[in-house]
Structure 1
Amino acid sequence: MAAPIKVFGPAMSTATARVMACLLENQLQFDLVPVDMSKGQHKKPEFLAIQPFGQVPAFQDEHIVLFESRAICRYIVDKYTEKGKRGLLGMETLERASIEQWLEAESQSFNPPSSALVFQLAFAPRMKLKQDPNLIAQNEAKLSKVLDVYEQRLGDSRFLAGDEFTLADLSHLPNAQYLINATDRAALFTSRKNVSRWWEEISGRSSWKKVVEMQQTPLPSSSST
């Protein structure tokens, strides 16, 4: 019997949640192995052996060990095509290129400002850390510009990479979830007609609802990837 897939990290971590969503979207069972970052478990030698940068998540599938959430998601979709939706990464060259370009947009343009806002607005107050108003304002302006691009794109396309839900959409779920439901900046998304429609559709997927249900333990570290 094959060893179960293991995901190491707190469910509340945005990067861990991304991997969990991908596994659930592909109808794969897995064990979530909690990592208490407040106690420095992510810096212990046994964890560094599978995630040398001391970040979350780490991922184990039998003898395969991976880190970096987006790389893990690509691996899941490529390996387990018979389990879930192969279309999450595309079925032909041009389709995959479109998905990859919007995945890059998420990691390079959407993630930096949205991650900064999630930390400043959602996590810093819980961790009793001082918020930085200038940093919040700067990243809100950056994210607004990104979402303006998304608004235009989603006026022409049901999802970011086309008319089917893909990893490009899935990858946005964790940060958007916090900003919309755990901060006072939901209007960044809801005030844009097409972005709001897109968010309602992708966040309503059963796989993501299950992730949200699993997010019962507090506080990821800011060192998620």
Structure 2
Amino acid sequence: MAIKIYGVLLSTAVQRVALVCNEKNVPYEIIPVDMKNGAHKEPSFLKNHPFGQIPYIDDDGFILYESRAIAHYITKQYASQGTQGLIPTDVKEEAIYEQAIATELSHFDSQVTGLAMERVYKKYRNLESDEAKVAEVLATFNTKLDAYEVILGKQRYVAGDNLTLADLNHVPNGHMLKRMGFDILDSETRPNVARWWKDITSRPSWVAIVADL
């Protein structure tokens, strides 16, 4: 039975869930949500996602929202399928993994969100972006990526030498950066970041999603 993902594939959060489903060989079906007409704020939606956002999933009656929590659940629930080791089991390796999960949310997602606010959401509302704000966020983001360069100079992935959910969590927002015209993840000035980014975005699990986009 396919997991039902309520949302739209253009959402980076929905992409995150679909990516992990692909890695774990879990079939899924995206149930479109008409956000333009406020379907995500209707009582029938809010009973499953009280914050009125996308996505949430229905896995044979089990309802869950927040894309990173969903990714964690899918990885654990379907542990015997697909890519192995996405969540470490050794106590110290798991701690480093959790550190990388927090790093993505605090130092990567937050910066992409700041840029998207100016370049995507304002455009959607027919507003002019604040280019001074864009420059400010980019300057901060570059310092964050300098730290990534140091980390990835010591190991293959953000939580060690093995691929984890912490790496996959970066992919949708990183792809959004390119859609906004920022190629900072491919920059030759940070060869370790560029190597890592090419690695995780060339996986068949992500290539299939890009084809659908």
Shorter-chain TM range is over 0.9
Q: Is the contact between residue 57 and residue 63 of structure 2 (CA under 8 Å) also seen in structure 1?
A: yes
- Computed over aligned residues only, the root mean square deviation of the Cα atoms, in angstroms, reads 1.5
Quote the Cα distance in structure 2 between the aligned partners of 1:126 and 1:65: 30
Q: Say how many residue pairs are matched.
A: 212
Q: Corresponding residue for 1:62?
A: 60
The superposition leaves residues 40-71 of structure 1 with CA deviations (integer Å, 9 ceiling, x where unpaired) of 11111111111110011111111210111111
Quote the Cα distance in structure 2 between the aligned partners of 1:207 and 1:63: 25
Q: In structure 1, the residue corresponding to 2:153 is in which secondary structure?
A: helix
Q: In structure 1, the residue corresponding to 2:5 is in which secondary structure?
A: strand
- 1:184 and 2:198 matched: no
Q: Which runs of 4+ in 1 moved over 3 A?
A: 122-127
Q: Is the contact between residue 185 and residue 194 of structure 2 (CA under 8 Å) also seen in structure 1?
A: no
**Shift in Å, 1:121:** 2.4
Q: Is the contact between residue 8 and residue 35 of structure 1 (CA under 8 Å) also seen in structure 2?
A: yes
| Percentage identity across paired residues of the two chains | 37
Flag the structure with more relative contact order, 1 or 2, with Cα contacts below 8 A and sequence separation at least 6: 1
Residue identity matched to 2:210? V
Q: 1:52 aligns with which of 44, 50, 53?
A: 50
**Shift in Å, 1:184:** 2.6
Taking the TM superposition and a 5 Å limit, the aligned residue runs for 1:38-117 are 38-117=36-115
Q: Is the contact between residue 122 and residue 178 of structure 1 (CA under 8 Å) also seen in structure 2?
A: no
Quote the Cα distance in structure 2 between the aligned partners of 1:129 and 1:62: 42
Deviates more, 1:132-141 or 1:49-58: 132-141
Q: Is the contact between residue 39 and residue 45 of structure 2 (CA under 8 Å) also seen in structure 1?
A: yes
Q: Corresponding residue for 1:173?
A: 171
The superposition leaves residues 169-206 of structure 1 with CA deviations (integer Å, 9 ceiling, x where unpaired) of 000001111112x1232135424111111111100000
Q: Is the contact between residue 2 and residue 26 of structure 2 (CA under 8 Å) also seen in structure 1?
A: no
Quote the Cα distance in structure 2 between the aligned partners of 1:119 and 1:21: 24
Structure 1 unaligned regions, length at least 5: 216-225
- 1:5 and 2:3 matched: yes
Residue identity matched to 2:15? A
Q: 2:193 aligns with which of 192, 195, 199?
A: 195
TM-score (norm 2): 0.93
TM-score (norm 1): 0.89
Q: Corresponding residue for 1:22?
A: 20
